Amino acid sequence: MKKILISVYLFLDDLFKVKHKPSKDQLVKLSGKEIFIGKYTYGFESTQIFSWGEEIDIKIGRFCSIGAGLKLFSGGNHPTWFISSYPFGLVYNDFLKIPKNKSIVFSNGEITIGNDVWVGRDVTIMSGLTLGDGSVIAANSHVVKDVEPYSIYGGNPARFIRYRFSKEIIEKLLEIQWWNYEDHIIEKIHHILLNKPDNNTFVEIAKILNENNSK
């Protein structure tokens, strides 16, 4: 098993300043593997990726807030539908005289954390899962299934708690995908993003976009 420490972007003080300006999406190389991290995503350096040699993609979107102690499992799933969950052929082969067996799949696939996702402290995310855009994961949660956009999940195993906004508002937020705007647009609409959304929210954003396009 490999346990990899990853430094993303660090809190330096209570004003949430970051170590450097991450103004572009980037690929971070870890143990010979590239992991996608979207621009302006920040978090603590105690994020850990647990790997048993699986070749899966890990993608973290833009403007995410990652709490300390995030654990991402690229594999480690034992087949509970077999008689035994023990990984015969992978451990103690010299003692049990069992041929190496790499046919058993211990990973469910890539991990995708969407955009503007808030992951609380000490969260564990298993392989093959997607955390939708705008979702929130409560601290100390163990995520074992996909998380819907703009929903709040928590617990062990993590369960649906509630949606952050109405269905109509969520659909509009997913439509505009504000995290894909250029930086100068983000600078103009950030005050809107820091308020509770209503129908007028999207009118204001559209107005700013139109003004920018007319220049």
pLDDT digits (tens, 9 = 90+) for 87-108: 888 888 888 888 887 777 788 8
Q: Give mean pLDDT, residues 139-155.
A: 98
pTM score, two decimals?
0.86
Q: Give mean pLDDT, residues 50-66.
A: 86
- Looking at per-residue pLDDT, the higher value among 100 and 199 belongs to 199
pLDDT over 90 percentage in the chain: 56
- Sheet (strand 58-60) strand order: 26-30, 33-37, 58-60, 111-113, 130-131
Label residues 77-87 b or e (16+ Cβ within 10 Å = b). beeeeeeeeee
| 190 is a catalytic site residue | no
For the chain, the average pLDDT equals 86
27: pLDDT strictly greater than 70: yes
pLDDT of residue 64: 96
| Alpha-carbon gap, residue 76 to 51, rounded angstroms | 8
pLDDT over 70 percentage in the chain: 86
Question: How many Cβ atoms from other residues are within 10 Å of residue 32's Cβ?
Answer: 5
pLDDT of residue 110: 92
- Mean pLDDT check: name the lowest of 35-39, 123-127, 181-185: 35-39
| Alpha-carbon gap, residue 69 to 32, rounded angstroms | 22
Return the residue matching tokens 């209503």. 198
- Mean pLDDT check: name the lowest of 72-81, 121-130, 137-146, 189-198: 72-81
pLDDT of residue 214: 72
126: pLDDT strictly greater than 90: yes
Band of residue 79 on the pLDDT scale cut at 50, 70, 90: confident
Return the residue matching tokens 């995310």. 125
Homologous superfamily of the 2-164 domain (CATH): Hexapeptide repeat proteins (2.160.10.10)
Among 20, 78, 142, 191, which one carries the catalytic annotation?
78
205: pLDDT strictly greater than 50: yes
